[in-house]
Structure formats: structure tokens, C-alpha cells
Chains A and B, each alone.
Chain A
């Protein structure tokens, strides 16, 4: 059995960490599937899906680390007009941050529950907001 649910959200900041664990759990419950593998994927190239502990201090440190690794004022090649879009591509930092955190995560599903560590939370990571974004909860049933 296969289940997929696409969830939309409006991000509000240029860079934003949004905990989506509860929305993922709701999608899992909606599916009715008890055992399998749950994939959370983003549809975008300037966002991320991250698993980490949801602490304000950690969010600050992760944001700081990403900014140190990928500063805004670097001379990126991706800062230019794209003819195929007709508009400026000013979001190289978003693409590079997305590369670091990836666009997906996976969790086992057992007895209808996500198998997660106590400290683990799932984040949708915005790196080029504000924007209208979509992520997917996909479940491959093991039965």
C-alpha cells in the first residue's frame, strides 16, 4: 500500500525553522497504515528537511553555522538574471543551505507510530522565504 499527502505552508521569514512533526504524525494517522517506511520530502531546491532537537539555542547555533558556512556577501555565480525565468536568481545561499540539510528524511513506522528518538523533531527549513511551500508525507506500507 502506498500513501502520499502534500502539505502546503506559507513561510514568513527569509530563513525560518518550522517544526512539522505533528503535521507528519497527523498524516500518518490519516493513512491508517500501521507498519512501513515514512518519507518526508520537500518539493523545493531552496528549502530543507532536517531532523534535530527543537531547542531555541540549537536553532540559533544551526542558523549561525549555516550563515558562517554560506555567507550572504560571497560573490556567487548564481547571482544573475536567468533568461529562462526572466527574473533575477538571487538565492544562491538558499540552494547551498539546502544542499547541507538535504530535501528529505526517513522514519520507520511501527504499530501506527513513527519510530523516533525522544529528542528528534522534524523541521521544514526555509532558506529563501517568504514563500508558499509544499512538502510531502509518503508512506510505503510493509504489509
Chain B
């Protein structure tokens, strides 16, 4: 079995970067995770071990122009990666409307050594095809870095799904065929649209960070076997779906377990749980 990678985690409550009550409260409100507590790295290890996860992709969030804050900064991501380089993979975030957005992203790749870019159109309030975002896509192409987009509905505060429906990303897939992009949360609830984009564009990926109703197994059963057909994933899209938990909003341990039980071929599971993430990360 190759290593298991969770492509979609939010480290806002990791203790080394969330050590004061004020910061904890600020992040609870900013993330809409009102009872989350700070998590010691020891607990993160225990959780990863229990779930059988080898590496986490850590996502920051820059909301400078919309809300006047960085929920988690690129520097904090670098700090965490330096603590656990074998376990953590850090992504960058940049608000596309910042005047210095390109410089910030260049620095994130050049100086901070971050591995990709996270963008959140529904929270950062931009359409994926806008000029401000396109200049960031060119930086990612220049450095051969992937982009993980929030896609679909978001339960975070101040979010507007119209910016993040899956078909908003079609022009990006069309215009930048060498840019690897991932539609987070499988674009829920527009999962059939997401599946159609994956079918059409080999450079488009999706992650499994969706658990909006029921238990992990019940929801995956509904999405991947009823809304979609499991054979669509198992036969046609198996190189483009990646395990992502969206932890701490959703449950890492039970989500991995549900994926393992849903009925995919073992070779497809290996792709989804880790190999595809390695391809995506380049």
C-alpha cells in the first residue's frame, strides 16, 4: 500500500499556531467551527495513526480584502511543515484582490517552499475566470504547482456558492490544460457536474471532503453509489479522485473507513487514498 494522503485539512486549531484563547475564539468564528478546541501535535499524530493517514495537506486562508484577516497565514503553514516535514505538506493562500497577490504567491513558492495554492472563491468572492485570479494561475504554471479550489456549498460564514459551482471552473480547465486543479468537496451538491468535468478534463481532480448529511458511510453510499454510480469512479475517474477529509469540520477516521468499505477495487482505493495526490502534487 502506498502512503495515504489527506489532501484537504485545515490546521487552524493546531496548537503551535493556535496557542492563545483570543486566537482560538477568532478562528472558531472565522471558520464557523464554534466548539473546536486547539489540538496538540501529539493528538494530531494519534488521529493520523488511528485513521491510517501518513501525510496531511495543510490549507491556509487569506481574506485580507474581504474580511481584513488571514485566518491562517502562509508563514504559519511553513512553521507547521518545519515541525513535521515527514507528515505535513503545506499549501499557500493568497487573496486574489490584493495588489501584491503575485508577489505573495511567488514568495510562498520560492522562499517558504509551499507545495500548492488553495483558493476559496465562495469566501474570497471572486469568479474563477476573473483577471485577478488568472494572474495567480500563471504563477502556478510557472512553478508547476497545483491549485485546490473550494467548490460547491460552504458551511463557513460569509460564503456565496455562486462563485464556486463546478461549471465556474470549466473555463480554467479549458484555458490552462497543464494546470492541475482540484474541486474540493466534489463540488457538493453539484456532484454530477463535477463528475462530468473530471470526465472531460484529465487535469481536473476532485476530493472526497464531503460529509454534509448522515454518517460517513451513509453519505458516501448516497453520493458515490446513488447520485453517481460507483463504477464511474472505479472505471473512469479513478485517477482523478483524491481522499480529502476537510477535517476538522468532517471526520477523518470514519471517512477513511467508509471509503475502504464502499466497494471500490483495491487498486482504485490505492489511487484515491494516496497515489493520485502524489500525481496532483507533482
B-binding residues in A (CB < 8 A): 10-14, 73, 75-76, 79-81, 84-88, 90, 129-132
Contact = CB atoms under 8 A, between A and B. Distances in A.
A81 B213 contact: yes
Given A75-B218, A130-B46, A130-B47, A86 B32 contact: yes
A88 B209 CA distance: 12
Nearest to B38: A132
Nearest to A78: B215
Interface centre among A79, A85, A129 (most CB of B within 10 A): A79
Interface of B: 31-37, 39-40, 42-43, 46-47, 49-50, 155, 211-218, 248-251, 253-254
A123 to B, nearest CB: 19
User: Top 3 A-B pairs ranked by shortest CB distance?
Assistant: A130-B46, A79-B215, A86-B32
B215 A86 contact: no
A86 B253 CA distance: 18
Contact of B49 (A12, A73, A84, A86): A12
A10 B32 contact: no
A97 to B, nearest CB: 15
Given A86-B32, A86-B249, A129-B50, A10 B42 contact: yes
Nearest to A84: B34
A81 B212 contact: yes
Contacts of A14: 50, 253
Contacts of A88: 211, 249-251
B215 A76 contact: yes
B40 A10 contact: yes
A87 B214 contact: no
A117 B34 CA distance: 44
Nearest to B32: A86
Given A76-B215, A80-B213, A87 B248 contact: yes
B212 A90 contact: no
A10 B41 CA distance: 11
A90 B251 contact: yes
Contacts of A81: 155, 212-213
Given A79-B215, A81-B213, A87 B33 contact: yes
Given A79-B215, A90-B251, A10 B34 contact: no
Given A10-B40, A132-B40, A90 B47 contact: no
A129 B47 CA distance: 8
Contacts of A11: 46
Contacts of A85: 33-36
6 contacts: A10-B40, A10-B42, A81-B213, A86-B35, A86-B249, A88-B211
B216 A90 contact: yes
Contact of B214 (A79, A130, A131): A79
B155 A86 contact: yes
A47 to B, nearest CB: 15
Contacts of B36: 85-87
Nearest to A87: B249
Given A81-B213, A85-B34, 9 more contacts: A13-B50, A73-B217, A85-B33, A85-B36, A86-B35, A86-B36, A87-B36, A88-B251, A90-B251
